[in-house]
Amino acid sequence: MTEFEIIAHYFTRPSDALLGVGDDCALFSSKKTIAVSTDMLVEKTHFFPGDDPFLLGRKSLSVNLSDMAAMGARPRYALLAISLPVADEAWLQAFSKGFMAQAERYGVALIGGDTTRGPLAVCVHIIGELDAELALRRDGAKPGDEIWVSGHLGDAALALAHLNDEIRLTDEEAEFCLGALHDPVPRVELGLALSGISRCAIDISDGFCADLSHILEKSIVAAVVEYAALPCSETMEKYRSTRASAILSGGDDYELCFTASPEKSNDVRSIGERLGIRLSKVGKIREGSGLVVLDEAGREMKIGNKGYAHFS
């Protein structure tokens, strides 16, 4: 297959853009503020050689959708730059299926990209819309705000620990945790629902403490978090005391951490009920700087490795 056959066959779909795949640029217009973001997945850094291409296709879009969610933006368009060592049709078929089904699920049109030969890497660029004044910005936290987390934390980190032979999960537990690692659910509907209720969110991709710390730095505030309040799956619960780092610093959760004033507490709860997403209140924003995590006895926990950072 040539580059152009690959594009025509696997990456060209009808779209609502003025001009989609096939010209030098795609064209679209919008009356709203545009939100843009890009996220790259590289073999051996973000995924393993031989990982399921269907799930990789889906995850490459999901991690970008997660950025849209964290901003409270409605995703509209995506571009896909892909570097492939060989044109393996079965691999491309599965990758495209995973990517395109997720695009359809979230109302995203693939309107362009680039296809080259090289080491396996996938870079997605995502474009969404929002009202600028309602954006969920990292600098939007205020002293007195409560800190919330969606879903549960640490399952993807447990999967990695299992793959690295650091822990031994049962088959059932491994299946569940590997699902969290390979197939994260972007919280797009939650991000949209928080519009007007929260001013500040981040998606947890590098680890809870690291990502909350980004909020604290940008908002110039401090936070106190209760470890016992951090939400866990049944599997992670078994490791809560021995593997706290999975919850505090494990990456790849793609849950949202957001803040809201205490008066909005009931609104937040009803959003969780309406969307069927567990939303947990885990701490408070204070004046000052820095993050303190308290254990069940109210003692400050030592947070070792704060989160994942490339080049560190």
Binding positions for ligand ADP, rule: CB under 6 A: 7, 11, 21-24, 80, 82, 110, 112-115
Name which of ligand ADP, Mg ion, none residue 115 binds, using a CB cut-off of 5 to 8 Å depending on partner kind: ligand ADP
Which residue, 92 or 147, has its beta carbon nearer to ligand ADP?
A: 92
Nearest distance in Å: CB 6, Mg ion: 12
User: Which range binds Mg ion by CB under 5 A, 16-24, 113-121, 148-156, 218-226?
Assistant: 113-121
| Rounded CA separation 122/56 (Å) | 9
Site string for Mg ion, 114-143 (x = CB under 5 A): x-----------------------------
Nearest distance in Å: CB 68, ligand ADP: 18
Which residue, 87 or 185, has its beta carbon nearer to Mg ion?
A: 87
Which residue, 22 or 304, has its beta carbon nearer to ligand ADP?
A: 22
Q: Is 277 in contact with 268 (CB distance < 8 Å)? A: no
| Rounded CA separation 308/232 (Å) | 20
| Rounded CA separation 201/5 (Å) | 41
Which residue, 33 or 83, has its beta carbon nearer to Mg ion?
A: 83
| Rounded CA separation 9/273 (Å) | 41
| Rounded CA separation 53/111 (Å) | 21
User: Which range binds Mg ion by CB under 5 A, 106-114, 136-144, 243-251, 292-300?
Assistant: 106-114
List the beta bridge partners of residue 204: 255
Q: Is 80 in contact with 11 (CB distance < 8 Å)? A: yes
Residue with tokens 């780092």: 245
- In single-letter form, the type of residue at position 40 comes to M
- Per rule CB under 5 A, is residue 237 in the interface with Mg ion? no
- By beta carbon distance, the residue nearest Mg ion is 114
Name which of Mg ion, ligand ADP, none residue 41 binds, using a CB cut-off of 5 to 8 Å depending on partner kind: none
List the beta bridge partners of residue 129: 34, 74
